Structure 1
């Protein structure tokens, strides 16, 4: 195994899936719920948006891209760490920034597994 500093987002997400396959359906459902909420309340989010790196419209676009991939590949993502990591964590695409953010927030606010929370902290916040 590579040192953690050498792991790509694809490597990290594949490892997370392999260690915690039971969390993946819950995580994907949470991401879809957040995407729906962003679209449903986009005017309110746009008015209060203060994330300087991206405009709200850019963030919404990333959410929509993630949503489309999850809707198309959800069953395969649940079964395969390779599909999960390749579809959501491609290094050629900014959607990974949205998904990384959602993984961290899912772990902090929704996961009941302390080990999953620690793994997310180790892999995605270093």
Structure 2
């Protein structure tokens, strides 16, 4: 196994899924909800946007692409760690997915504290 600092996003996503398969249905639902939230109140969201790394339109595009993945594969993402990682952690999609996962553990109280710690370990700098 690689050292943690040598794992790429695909490997981190797959590892999270393999370690916590029971957390995946709720997590995927949350990611899908985040995709929908980006598309609500577009004018307000665009006006509030202050991320210098990505334009709002690019972020909106990522949200649309991630939403399409969750719609297309649905429950298959819950069960298959390779599919989960390949579809949600490839390229720039990983930026949006990781943002959603970190937000998921920050805004919700989780019974599984190990899951929260794993997300922090894998995805927070």
Residue in 2 that maps onto 1:105: 103
TM-score by length of 2: 0.94
Structure 1 unmatched ranges of 5 or more:
none
Runs of 4+ in structure 1 displaced over 6 angstroms? none
Call closer, same or farther: CA 1:111–1:27 in 2, change over 3 Å.
farther
Residue 62 of structure 1 corresponds to 62
Structure 1 residue 23: deviation in Å? 1.2
1:1-126 → structure 2 map (5 Å cutoff): 1-90=1-90, 93-112=91-110, 113-126=112-125
Deviations 1:67-107 (A, max 9, x none): 001111122111111110011112xx211111111111111
Q: Which runs of 5+ in 2 are unaligned?
A: none
TM-score for the superposition, normalised by structure 1: 0.93
1:102 is paired with a residue whose SS is helix
Taking the aligned partners of 1:111 and 1:33, their CA distance within structure 2 comes to 17
Q: Name the CA distance, whole Å, in 2 between partners of 1:19 and 1:51.
A: 32
Which moves more between the two structures, 60-69 or 74-83?
A: 74-83
Once the two structures are overlaid, the 10-residue window that deviates more, 39-48 or 109-118, is 109-118
**SS of alignment partner, residue 43 of structure 2:** helix
